[in-house]
Amino acid sequence: MKNGLYIVATPIGNIHDLSERAIETLKAAEVIACEDTRITKKLLSLLNISIQKTFITLHDHNEEEQAGKLIALISGGQAVALVSDAGSPLISDPGYKLINHCRAAGIYITVIPGCCALICALQLAGLPTDRFMFAGFIPNKDKARQDLFSELKAIPATLVFYETAPRIIKTLTAAAEIFAGRRLAVAREITKLYEECLTGTAEELIARFNAKEPKGEMVFMVAPPLKKNDSEVDVEAELRRLLADMPLKSAVKTVVETFSLNKNEVYQTALRIKNES
Ligand code: SAM
* The pLDDT of residue 262: 79
- Tens of each residue's pLDDT in the chain, 277 residues: 999 999 999 999 999 999 999 999 999 999 999 999 999 999 999 999 999 999 999 998 999 999 999 999 999 999 999 999 999 999 999 999 999 999 999 999 999 999 999 999 999 999 999 999 999 999 999 999 999 999 999 999 999 999 999 999 999 999 999 998 889 999 999 999 999 999 998 999 999 999 999 999 999 999 998 765 555 567 888 899 889 878 999 889 888 877 767 788 889 999 999 998 7
CA of 117 relative to ligand 1 center, distance in Å = 5
Q: Is the CB of 10 under 6 A from ligand 1?
A: no
Whole-angstrom Cα distance, residue 239 to residue 127? 15
CA of 8 relative to ligand 1 center, distance in Å = 15
Q: Is the CB of 87 under 6 A from ligand 1?
A: yes
Whole-angstrom Cα distance, residue 137 to residue 156? 20
* The pLDDT of residue 78: 98
Helix (H) or strand (E) holding 117: helix 117-125
Whole-angstrom Cα distance, residue 86 to residue 35? 10
Q: Is the CB of 117 under 6 A from ligand 1?
A: yes
Task: Tell me the three state secondary structure of residue 114.
Answer: coil
Q: Is the CB of 162 under 6 A from ligand 1?
A: yes
Q: Is the CB of 190 under 6 A from ligand 1?
A: yes
88, 161, 219, best to mutate for ligand 1 pocket (most atoms within 8 Å of CB): 219
115, 218, 220, best to mutate for ligand 1 pocket (most atoms within 8 Å of CB): 218
* The pLDDT of residue 232: 54
**pLDDT digits 0-9 by tens, 110-122:** 999 999 999 999 9
* The pLDDT of residue 236: 87
Domains and CATH numbers, the chain: 4-112 (3.40.1010.10), 120-222 (3.30.950.10), 230-276 (no CATH)
CA of 105 relative to ligand 1 center, distance in Å = 31
Q: Is the CB of 155 under 6 A from ligand 1?
A: no
Contact assessment for residue 22 and residue 97, using Cβ atoms and an 8 Å cutoff:
no
Contact assessment for residue 70 and residue 81, using Cβ atoms and an 8 Å cutoff:
no
* The pLDDT of residue 60: 87
Residues in the chain: 277
